[in-house]
Amino acid sequence: MPLRGMCSVTARVCASGKLKAGDRSFPAGKLTGGEKMPLVPVVPVVPAVRAGGRCACLPPDAAAGAREKPWLLQGAHPWKKVMADFFHGRLGFRGDPRPPENASPMGFRTLAACVEALRREGAAVVCDEPVDPHLEIAEIQRRLYRAGGPAVLFSRPRGCAFPVLVNLFGTRTRVERIFAATIDRVRRLVELKIDPAAAATRPWRYWRAPLDALTMLPRRVRRGPSRACPIALSALPHVVCWPGDGGPFMTLPCVYSEEPGSPGTRRSNLGMYRVQLAGNDYAPDGEVGLHYQIHRGIGVHHTRALERGEPLRVSITVGGTPAYTVAAMMPLPEGLSELTFAGALAGHRIPMIAVPGRPAVYAEADFVIEGTILPHPKPEGPFGDHLGYYARRHDFPALRVERVSHRPGAIWPMTVVGRPPQEDTMFGWLVHELTGPVIPTVLPGVKSVHAVDAAGVHPLLLAVGSERYQPWRRAGRPAERHTQASSIHGQGQRS
């Protein structure tokens, strides 16, 4: 799978430090899919920072400082440092990670704001060289992730007017940086769910919990930038990740639906289900494929719509606050709206545009597809899946597209899935980081769990159980642990 047009920035960040200025090619090796990687001519690396940070390569000393102390800010006001030290040192927060001083205390509201903050810190670069959405962008993304490289914004993808962002969640440090202003607040909310009495015994730790709880309430608005600029479906970036894929896919889509008969955000569902933008039997510029399986909340809404003899309408978005993307893939209990979690992680109430006769639309999204699920499924796939093989072509729901729009200055975020580890490894880590302490309250007797990333997260889960009911028995054949294993098998996507 030869690559063309590799830019100097990508060459620098893809080679794990082995490619230096003046090198002309990558060494021969293996692609993620197992194909032989040919020698790829590249432009000699210029280890300098262009004006404005375009195609910037951060100096090694600055890069090291950014990795060790991502909250460092050039030119911060002294009084801000003093107040931060005061609150972290004298009000019970000593030892907590300090949020970056140049991050909004309410988190990032838009994807563009997040990218700009990362760019200023050297954690993201902008590539102005033309790149091909057909296979090339995806291969660069895979190499970026393996090398621990920065997020890259391709400003000139061939055949498309919108920039494409890759590797946003590519490292643990960057994920922690993106949510630095709010992740500890979410942890405290989780702690209170486990032990509500802690609010009385440690009030100095949970003093702002009521304020954080308010951010979990979605906010209805009349208009928003996400519906400002109507476009055709074919104008969206059509990125193909693997040679055997059935067409271009959206790999970070947030699919939103509301319960038929009970419209509104309270009983809504937000999920990440891959979307095929073209190919197979889909009507050009009019239909997309929507892939969802068992234990997906949208399936409950679809079933109830069929029972009522109504069509199910959905809105699909990409972009916006990174917290919205993370919330879409969180395995929350059925009936709990993902918008509540998104608000807590974002640090602000999620604005949803009220659209008469249709489900609400996320106001700060970069792109929106609105439509109605067709009464009969259509073939979807193949798709290079996260287990390292192609999911074959099968019948799945299809969506009749009725409106496509974007916000001014929109950015198209994407990821690549395939044989682990890939960027979605960071999603699995973040889910465990935030929800791990809750496991013993959901599964009594289970002390901890670990989803094995090398197996693709879903197929293999390690659990530490206990035997509590027959203490007189000697250690031997498991008894209660059998019931714990059955409980785990029946939980959501693990079934």
Active site residue 281: no
**In 335-395, which ranges are continuous DSSP H helix?**
338-346
Q: What one-character DSSP code corresponds to residue 439?
A: H
Question: CA–CA distance from 311 to each of 355, 433, 479 (Å)?
Answer: 16, 38, 48
Q: By C-alpha distance, which of 235, 278, 234, 5 is closest to 139? A: 5
> Chain centroid to CA 187: how far?
18
Residues 6+ apart with CB under 8 A from 241: 135, 138, 249, 251, 384, 416, 417, 418
Which neighbouring-strand residues pair with 153? 126, 165
Rounded CA-CA distance 354/443 in Å is 38
**Residue 64 — φ and ψ, nearest 5°?**
-65, -40
Rounded CA-CA distance 6/270 in Å is 36
Which neighbouring-strand residues pair with 126? 54, 153
Rounded CA-CA distance 102/114 in Å is 11
3-state secondary structure of 36: strand
CB 285 within 8 A of CB 279: no
Dihedral sign for Cα atoms in the order 10, 12, 18, 23: positive
Exactly one of 285, 385, 395, 453 is catalytic; name it: 385
Rounded CA-CA distance 345/326 in Å is 9
Rounded CA-CA distance 32/40 in Å is 16
User: What tokens were used for 456?
Assistant: 């693709």
Q: Using CA atoms in the order 150, 327, 232, 410, what is the torsion angle rounded to 10 degrees?
A: -40
Length of the chain: 495
3-state secondary structure of 85: helix
Residues 6+ apart with CB under 8 A from 281: 378, 379
By annotation, the residues acting in catalysis are: 385
